[in-house]
Chains A and B, each alone.
Chain A
Amino acid sequence: MTPRVDLKEFLSAYVAEVDEQLQAANAKLLEVEASSHAGHANPRSVRDLFRALHTVKGLSAMVGVEPAVAIAHRMETVLRVADTAGGPVALSSVDTLLQAIREIELRVREVSQGKEPSPAPRAILDALDKLDLSSPLSTRGPATALDLDPAVASKLAPFELDLLSAGVRNGRRALRADFSPSPAKAERGFSINTVRERVGSVAEIVKVVPVAVPPTDEAPGALSFAILLLTSASDEEIANAVGIAPESLQVVMPATPTLESATPPPVVAAGDDDLEPLSHRRNIVRVEVSRLDDAMEHLSTLIVTRSRLSRAIAELTSTGANTRALAEIMRDNARQLRDLRAAILRVRMVPVSEVLERIPLLLRGLRRESGKQVRLELDAGNAELDKGVAERLFPAIVHLVRNAVDHAIEAPADRTRAGKPAEGTLRIQCFAQSNTRLELTVSDDGSGVDRASVARRVGRDLATDAALLDALCRAGLSTRDQATTTSGRGMGMDIVKRIVVDQLGGELAMKTAAGVGTTFTLRVPLTISIVDAFTIERHKQRFVVPVSMVEEIFEIEPAAVRFGPSRGMAEGSRAGIVERRGEAVPLVDLAWSLRLAGVGVAPRQAILVRRGGEPTAFGLDRVIGQQEAVVRPLIDPLVQAPGIAGATDLGDGKPTLVLDLVALGGTLAARDGERAA
């Protein structure tokens, strides 16, 4: 099909837009489900859902993705009915609708991969058709037949009437219970206030209308309250709550039999002109990330050019030329570049709440697979994150959520036995820690990590949470013997660590308490790629170290370095100890750490970094200067090495390695044996 090739440009826009609409549809559907659970209709979300699918259908028709059109069309039909009826959606239909969204997603993915979309599965089309005919989705019709004496009925506001009819359409019963206060009842604990409270726990009180009645023994104050309520509870429960006989309850609005209302109400709501796409917000432009990357790439070359320029000026200055004016221009230029960079970075920022949008859907699936009850608390606030970082970070969050449900949160029965609520809580919180870092926590109130079992596995003591986390992050470690469908083998913590620490240059921490729960804290940079960096030199080789990793730089006083017993190691490979601010700090030669060729003098300066609170100082010849560096990650497997974060161009057209001294420090302990050899 040739037009598809011609539409390539448009296709990626199609995929992006549809993807967004499907995400929105998923989210709305889950909202609808939650409302249905709570017994309410959720007309707003149903409307949004309808709009999203309407947009999907329209876009798919434009591009000719017929299977998506077919599925979306049927969903639309089902939802149109629900929308018209004021939003009731049967719980049983949610699965089918989710599955249908998934099927559309699959087809869109195929299109994005340049494949022909596979036909819409008959099963899902049939299931959708059936929904339309038989589910309570299609029950509709205004149930306004109010069976209530006019004195009370006249007190009802229109919205209260609506509430009642919506409730009835939704399958609840609209009842009237009369309560007349008396001293005798008050003695038994029935006052209008306690009755309100008790009824409120088994029903939704729509209105309480005071009614004057002839004084009787039952109502000595000549006053009665007509309580109008919606409930799914039995007559007995309601009557008990009010302290009256079940027989005295009145049904005020008959349940409407389903397909009876002969004339369906006109479909005003779903008129097409009313259907703006969900994402439609004024003054917002959708931009592909690759275009932003382009802009960033151009900026990167500008920064490299600037480095060259300042080199040239430095050379000029060294010949004795007056370069003051140039220096001033360079300062302006630096500021402008910084502003431009900030502006581009801002464009790349996405709200974290958007990143976490898929989590509820994920959790829904996990709940179902595991049979556990888990409540999600999401609090992303206004935090924003670079799109690139967000994309990398998301799989780590998914891993942690899976682990929490699969390994940490106990089965409802076990939780009850342990004195916890049957429903577990998974909390994801996030806030910007500073202008450069974001902190995200994933906590559960589950069983905590089984310290003893992990210790047995790795064969050593794990007294601290840090040591425990370290052990968990070893590839292939699993505290479970059996693979489970959700988490597979192992806990995937090595993946989490690789993403957070190795790929994003962030930190990963854990707090766990047996029986109480576990909290993972992820601290990641808001953006990557351009960093403030020190240029350093050792054995005539230059390296770049991000300023953010460096705690301090200090001069090494040779006389103050202490060497312990050295097992006959070569000079440069001995780690010394220096004292910094009352702390004993190991000092290792950067040349040895990186296995640099060449022999030189002992290091004269040192850079101090911290890894999980533990300091390490790296000895080097000198720190040459500080500048902005564009970090290009070294992604080719041939050049992926611990401690190497990437490469940068300092203006000489040659790559200079960007060091991750924190990670490098972590590899040194493992080389202990080699040092002894």
Chain B
Amino acid sequence: MTNLTRYGAPAEGQSAGTLHVVFKVAQSEYLLPSETVLQMESFSGATPVPGAPSYVIGIVQIRGRVVPVVDLRLRFGAGVGETVLDNRIVVGQYGDRVVGLLVDSAREVVKVTAAQLKPPPPILNHQASGFVKAVVQVGSRVMMLVDFARVIGEEPLHGVD
């Protein structure tokens, strides 16, 4: 029995957890709290914005709103990935800002309890430039909770950008 629970089928005793969206970037699994995520969209290309940071793949239009998209592979230093049908834009909100994250795939929603969240090991923290807020280990699966604000450049990064 895994501690992870698919959305819609909460296991007993797990109701205290909060919902998180799981997505994959370069083989690794990441989490964002579902209250941060506005929606998920399929990806069919973005309009590049000259002069924007290199990890900004461009802008897309989602329900009449123009949203900048951060390519998480580039942001996380994982190299350029192929554009495949599985690609998703995870649209997140931070304050007034709405920014999309381009990920390899996003299919799952899980419940995570506060007790499951562990601070990232220092060496990982440094390497990940503070993008990882916490590590969640569930059985053999290790997932990383993404610091959305840092990813979209809201707070200064630890170490090198």
Instruction: List the interface of chain A (C-beta within 8 A of B).
Output: 297, 300-301, 541, 594-597, 632, 634, 636-639, 641-644, 647, 649, 653-657
Contact = CB atoms under 8 A, between A and B. Distances in A.
A654 B61 CA distance: 6
29 contacts: A297-B64, A300-B64, A541-B48, A594-B50, A594-B51, A595-B51, A596-B50, A597-B48, A632-B66, A634-B59, A634-B66, A636-B67, A636-B97, A636-B98, A638-B52, A638-B70, A638-B152, A639-B56, A639-B59, A641-B51, A641-B52, A642-B51, A644-B51, A647-B61, A649-B61, A655-B60, A655-B66, A656-B47, A657-B50
Given A647-B59, A655-B61, A636 B50 contact: no
Contacts of B47: 647, 654-657
Contacts of B66: 632, 634, 647, 655
Given A647-B66, A654-B61, A634 B49 contact: yes
B53 interface: yes
A634 B98 CA distance: 11
A597 to B, nearest CB: 8
Interface in B58-115: 59-61, 64, 66-68, 70, 97-99
A655 B67 CA distance: 9
Contacts of A596: 50
Contacts of B51: 594-595, 641-644
A657 B99 CA distance: 17
B139 interface: no
Contacts of B8: none
A655 B98 CA distance: 16
Contact of A639 (B45, B49, B61, B64): B49
A638 B60 contact: no
Contacts of B13: none
B45 A301 contact: no
Contacts of B67: 636
Interface in B9-35: none
A643 B50 contact: yes
Nearest to B154: A637
Query: Which A-B residue pairs are the 10 nearest by beta carbons?
Result: A641-B51, A594-B50, A639-B68, A638-B68, A639-B49, A647-B66, A655-B47, A636-B68, A655-B59, A655-B61
B159 interface: no
Contact of B50 (A301, A632, A644, A649): A644
A447 to B, nearest CB: 39
Interface centre among B49, B56, B152, B153 (most CB of A within 10 A): B49
A636 B47 CA distance: 15
A642 B50 CA distance: 9
A656 B98 CA distance: 19
Nearest to A653: B61
A639 B68 CA distance: 7
Nearest to A297: B64
Contacts of A639: 49, 52, 56, 59, 68
A636 B49 CA distance: 12
Contacts of A647: 47, 59, 61, 66
B90 to A, nearest CB: 15
Contacts of B153: 637-638
Contacts of A656: 47
Contacts of A638: 52-53, 56, 68, 70, 99, 152-153
Nearest to A637: B153
Contacts of A653: 61
